[in-house]
Amino acid sequence: MSTYVEVRDLTHRYWDVKSETIALKEISFSLKEGSFLVIVGSSGCGKSTLLSILAGLYPIHEGFITIDGNSLASCQKRIGYVLQKDALLAWRTIKQNVQLGLEIQGIATLKNKQYAFDLLDQVGLGHVGDHYPHQLSGGMRQRVALARTLAVKPDLLLLDEPFSALDIKNKIHLETLLKSIHKQQKKTTILVTHDLEEAIALGDDVLVLSGHPGTLRKIMKIPDSIKNIPPLEVRGHTLFRSLFEDLWREVDL
Ligand SMILES: Nc1ncnc2c1ncn2[C@@H]1O[C@H](COP(=O)(O)OP(=O)(O)OP(=O)(O)O)[C@@H](O)[C@H]1O
């Protein structure tokens, strides 16, 4: 597999009238096409900043990022971003929400809409297509948000704590769904989470950021025997405890 995402010497500063905050300092890593990277780290170490830069929401001042050898700016349409909060439009039905990205990109053909509705089925929500977001639970809305993002067939999928507000059963259910979609579609995926169990259950690799400004502390490889089993089983695997303890030691308070 070839390198798909390349981040080199990335430093990010926020400025306001009085002060400067360095959120990230000299971050470098690369990611193979089709792989799944999970980013963990203590609060404020720059996880969301890194994901937002990859999503094109902040300009790059120092360092560079390429996607498949091209500049990040030229690849925006190929990137899908799922936020912690589902951001569904309240006045649109679930079916209308799930095809929103297609409309925004001007590709809402019958075939693409059908694909979006198939994804809605895949996330187990085909039966609520005519409902409105307020009629769904938090977990259901996150599933709609995931289907909406996948509907535009992004080559790079970015997820910022997408399951953090969910109860444990819904969380593991959606982790399982995401892992199986990733296995089928092999989209390069980067997910940010605070949850070390989730990181081990989903990632091919886990990248640990630490400190203020955030620097790259470690990239931990997840063994194949764990990568290929469902998230609930991962938590009972004989290797799980030692991986969890390794990560625990690396993450700051
Ligand atoms: N818009 C902004 N303006 C100024 N400083 C910001 C802004 N957004 C984030 N920061 C600062 O940048 C640093 C990194 O923040 P970021 O939200 O990326 O961290 P995080 O690891 O995602 O945190 P959390 O886990 O709490 O969500 C923090 O010091 C934060 O206060």
Question: Is the pTM value of this prediction over 0.90?
Answer: yes
pLDDT per residue over 206-245, tens digit each?
Answer: 999 999 999 999 999 999 999 989 999 999 999 999 999 9
For ligand 1, whether the C-beta of 40 sits within 6 Å is no
- Whether the CB-CB separation of 208 and 247 falls below 8 Å is answered with yes
- Whether the CB-CB separation of 175 and 234 falls below 8 Å is answered with no
Using 50, 70 and 90 to split pLDDT, how confident is the model at 252?
confident
What type of residue sits at position 135?
Answer: Q
3-state secondary structure of 148: helix
Q: 3-15 and 20-32: which strand pairing?
A: antiparallel
For ligand 1, whether the C-beta of 21 sits within 6 Å is yes
ipTM value of the model? Answer: 0.97
For ligand 1, whether the C-beta of 140 sits within 6 Å is no
For ligand 1, whether the C-beta of 162 sits within 6 Å is no
Phi/psi of residue 29, nearest 5 degrees: -165, 165
Is a pLDDT exceeding 90 seen at residue 163? no
Query: Token match 């079916």: residue?
Result: 95
Distance 63 CA to ligand 1 centre (A): 19
Taken in order 31, 37, 40, 44, the sign of the CA dihedral is positive
